[in-house]
Amino acid sequence: MAQARTDIGPPLYKDMLPPVIKENYGKWRYHEILKPGVLVHVSESGAKLYTVRAGSPRLISIYFIREICDLADKYCDGYLRFTSRHNIEFLLTDESKIDALIEDLKAMGIPVGGTGNSITNIVHTQGWVHCHTPATDASGIVKAVMDELFEYFTTMKLPAKMRIALACCLNMCGAVHCSDIAILGIHRTVPRIDHENLHKLCEIPTLTASCPTAAIRPNPKLKSIDIKAERCMYCGNCYTMCPSVHIIDAKNDAVSIWVGGKISNSRIGPRFSRLAIPFLPNNPPRWPEVVDAVKKLVELWAANAQPGERMAEWIERISWEKFFELSGLPFTDKHIDDFTLAQTTFRSTTQFKW
């Protein structure tokens, strides 16, 4: 084998586009959702591109990839794409082939959906499959939640779109900080320090600088560090910097739930997700408490939101105090911000609901 060619960059996207896209590139006129999971884009020339969107577990084998390639060869002249939420999209020009493709996908156990006012795929992370800092698993919870909410993937009966995301620690890789419902792994105990080895493995100034609340001080006597327990909120960033600071605590690591984030500028503009449930236990393999909490939040929102109202818009209309009343979720001292911009979240008005 020849030596690697460096700095060649990604393959050219133009070589990956089906002819109908090349011919109508930048000339699309409008689109419609024909049914759950099926889009049609109509060009100014009248040309039509059909898209069939299918769910994927994201963590997939080469055998799965080859099977979807077989389908793309059979129905789409060998072209397909993936979405920014890890769904698969088959790109067709022949409308009459759509249902046969959907049947083949169903036979493989791959659902079609994720369009319009649905719950589409869950953006998620590595968890126990490949990461060293997680407080929970990713793939397992995602599977458990999507099994429970499956009907919402294959239908479009919700008031608006619902984006769910998961991150296994508060590095928050992915979209957890800006999703309608977010599932986030958290630690709850102060790291244990391996004083004997720390100076061999870690750079102490980097370590002290890694703490958002300045809880870490050097301990020159031990050539190590100390953590002021009362200032530590268990973010785990010191462990990211230093293997001698152990944050993972299987007895106490847990899951939190956040609501009301969004990205798009439509109507109210982007919003951060905010804390709804500070603690749910890690309960593999099905995380029933997490699944139940997410399902209840989806159903509460679906039952109360006006048409077109996403989670954030619904809560802003009814108020957070009503959100906690309606959801029955306890409001605790954990919900009140105490980081740098805390005061901006306090209520400086007499306007509130009983």
Partner 1 sequence: MTEAKKTPLLDELEKGPWPSFVKEIKRAAANSPSAQDLLGQLELSYVDKKAHWKHGGLVGVMGYGGGVIGRYSDVPEQFPNVEHFHTVRINQPSGWFYTTKALRQVCDVWEKYGSGLTNLHGSTGDLVLLGTKTEHIQTIFDEISNFEEHPMDLGGSGSNLRTPSCCAGPARCEFALIDTLDICHDLTNEFQDYLHRPMWPYKSKIKISGCPNDCVASIARSDFSIQGTWRDDIKIDQEAVRAYVAEGFDIEGLVISKCPTKCMSFDGNELTIDNANCTRCMHCINKMCKALRPGDDRGATILVGGKAPILQGAMMGWVIVPFMKLEPGSGYQELKDFLEDCWAWWDEHGKTRERIGELILRLDMRNFLRGIGREPIPQMVVAPRANPFFFWWPEEVEQD
Site for partner 1, residues 174 to 213, rule: CB under 8 A: 174-178, 206, 209-210, 212
Based on the shown chain and the rule CB under 8 A, indicate whether residue 55 belongs to the binding site for partner 1: yes
- Between 116 and 331, name the residue whose CB sits nearer to partner 1: 116
Query: Which tokens belong to 143?
Result: 């599977």
Q: List the interface residues with partner 1, window 33-52 (CB under 8 A).
A: 41, 49, 51
Three-class SS state of 51:
strand
Backbone angles phi, psi at 10, to 5 degrees: -70, 160
- Between 328 and 343, name the residue whose CB sits nearer to partner 1: 343
- Between 123 and 300, name the residue whose CB sits nearer to partner 1: 123
- Between 121 and 327, name the residue whose CB sits nearer to partner 1: 121
Based on the shown chain and the rule CB under 8 A, indicate whether residue 1 belongs to the binding site for partner 1: yes
From candidates 19, 23, 45, 60, binder to partner 1 by CB under 8 A:
60
- C-alpha to C-alpha distance for 81 and 51, rounded to whole angstroms: 10
Q: List the interface residues with partner 1, window 86-105 (CB under 8 A).
A: 86, 88, 91
- Mark residue 181 as left, alpha or beta (left: phi above 0; alpha: psi -120 to 50; beta: remaining): beta
Based on the shown chain and the rule CB under 8 A, indicate whether residue 10 belongs to the binding site for partner 1: yes
- C-alpha to C-alpha distance for 51 and 34, rounded to whole angstroms: 10
**Peptide linkage before 285 cis (omega within 30 of 0):** yes
From candidates 38, 52, 53, 79, binder to partner 1 by CB under 8 A:
79
Q: List the interface residues with partner 1, window 227-266 (CB under 8 A).
A: 235, 237, 239-240, 243, 248, 250, 253, 263-266
How many angstroms separate the Cα of 252 from the Cα of each of 94, 255, 275?
54, 10, 19
Based on the shown chain and the rule CB under 8 A, indicate whether residue 15 belongs to the binding site for partner 1: yes
- Between 60 and 222, name the residue whose CB sits nearer to partner 1: 60
Three-class SS state of 52:
strand
Query: Which tokens belong to 120?
Result: 């589409």
